[in-house]
Amino acid sequence: MIKLRRETLQHKKGRGRVSRERKGIMELELDLLQDVTMEDKSSLSPGLQNSDEGNLVFPRTELIPFLRHVDENVREFTCDSNLKKVFYKIS
């Protein structure tokens, strides 16, 4: 996601042109993504460090409780019964 934002903002080959309004939003998104990702990966377990050849992105450790809470809420909302209710209202 970070790579995509950078390439789009730099008008790399194959990326479409971006409006001024969208460019401003993408610059803010890129700043946010860079702020929430872990720069120093020395605290990771050796197994994850070995797997990091593909430049995996890890959230900062301070964000993990928040991300866990978001994940639990999303899973609760997207259970089968709730999805059936949503699709029933749409159709």
Say which residues have a Cβ less than 8 Å from residue 59's Cβ, sequence separation at least 6. Answer: 36, 37, 38, 67
> Position of tokens 């860079």?
34
User: Domains of the chain: which residue ranges?
Assistant: 1-39+52-58, 61-91
Specify the higher pLDDT residue, 25 or 54: 25
CB 8 within 8 Å of CB 15: yes
Average per-residue pLDDT in the chain? 75
Residue 56 has pLDDT above 70, yes or no: no
Cβ(34)–Cβ(2) below 8 Å: yes
pLDDT computed for residue 7 by the predictor = 81
pLDDT digits (tens, 9 = 90+) for 28-43: 888 888 777 776 767 7
Q: pTM for this structure?
A: 0.48
Phi-psi region of 59 (alpha: psi -120 to 50; beta: other; left: phi over 0): beta
